[in-house]
Amino acid sequence: MNSHEAVTQLNIDCYGCGGDLNNKDQIVRIAERAAKQVGATVLGSGSVSYPTRGITAVVFLAESHILVSTYPEYRYAIVEIFMCNSQADPGECWTYLYDYLQPAQISVNKEVHYVGNGNGLVLNKASRHMES
């Protein structure tokens, strides 16, 4: 019996951002709106502003989370969209954040994680075993 669930993770490096990278409230609002638009369930959110500049904002979802960390001095942001609901498209979710951040260039890394017992999956053996 196969017992696993696919979880999609997008990690997006955003270079040359034109949006306000210090506006944590606006970034949280947009991430919440993006999540709702793709059918995800928002459970809560939080954000911090750093003493000199930049923010980290997170929206907690029943399906996992959306995280944005910004570095305004470099006009750079990192966006992570992690969703375990196959009906909620993280790529579509990203378009809302893209419109706000206005990056001149992006680098996207998409990973699919298989959560569960691994039955039915072809897995690579870890090169090192870590004891707890």
Q: Which two tokens stand for residue 83?
A: 């969703």
pLDDT band with cut points at 50, 70 and 90 for residue 1? very low
pLDDT band with cut points at 50, 70 and 90 for residue 3? low
Superfamily in which the 4-116 domain is placed by CATH: S-adenosylmethionine decarboxylase (3.60.90.10)
Q: Residue 20 above 90 pLDDT?
A: yes
79-132 per-position pLDDT tens digit: 999 988 777 888 999 999 999 999 999 999 998 877 776 555 555 554 444 444
Q: Residue 31 above 80 pLDDT?
A: yes
45-80 per-position pLDDT tens digit: 999 999 889 999 999 999 899 999 999 999 999 999
Coil/strand/helix, residue 117? coil
* Domain segments of the chain as ranges: 4-116
Strand (E) positions, the chain?
A: 4-15, 42-49, 55-61, 64-71, 76-83, 105-116
